[in-house]
Amino acid sequence: MTSQLEGILSESLVSEVGSSYQLIVTRNSGESVSYFIDLTSGSGSSGWGVFPGNPDVTLMMTETDLMCLIKGDLSPMTAYAAGRLQVIGDLRTALQLEKVLQRIAGR
């Protein structure tokens, strides 16, 4: 995920989204991993682990659902409505992450 993000982070994406995200992803093995995406300044940044500060939104999902979101096989709103995407923070801000997912998928 972080390598895919490196190729799409930009000042224009930061100006479109303007938020920070903590992703907690449960792998198929049951292990949880954390990623962060900071789209609040410069060209943005991302990485493994916990966001250094308070993220605007924390998202929790399975690895399978994250892959479906990236591929476009699952919309964030559908995932949220079905309980497959848990959001701590503002839902509208969380749904802005779709812009990031679209760029990763090249849509």
Q: In this predicted model, what pLDDT tens digit does every residue of 40-89 receive, in sequence order?
A: 999 999 999 999 999 999 999 999 999 898 888 998 889 999 999 999 99
- DSSP H helical ranges for the chain: 2-6, 11-17, 63-71, 76-81, 91-95, 97-105
What is the model's pTM?
0.87
The CATH number of residue 60's host domain is 3.30.1050.10
- Of 107, 100, 102, give the one whose Cα is nearest residue 14: 100
User: Where does the pLDDT of residue 2 fall: very low under 50, low under 70, confident under 90, or very high at 90 and above?
Assistant: low
- Of 14, 60, 67, 58, give the one whose Cα is nearest residue 38: 14
Domain that residue 69 falls in: 2-105
Amino acid at the residue 35: Y
How many CB atoms are located within 10 Å of the residue 8 CB? 17
User: What are φ and ψ of residue 76, in 5° steps?
Assistant: -55, -40
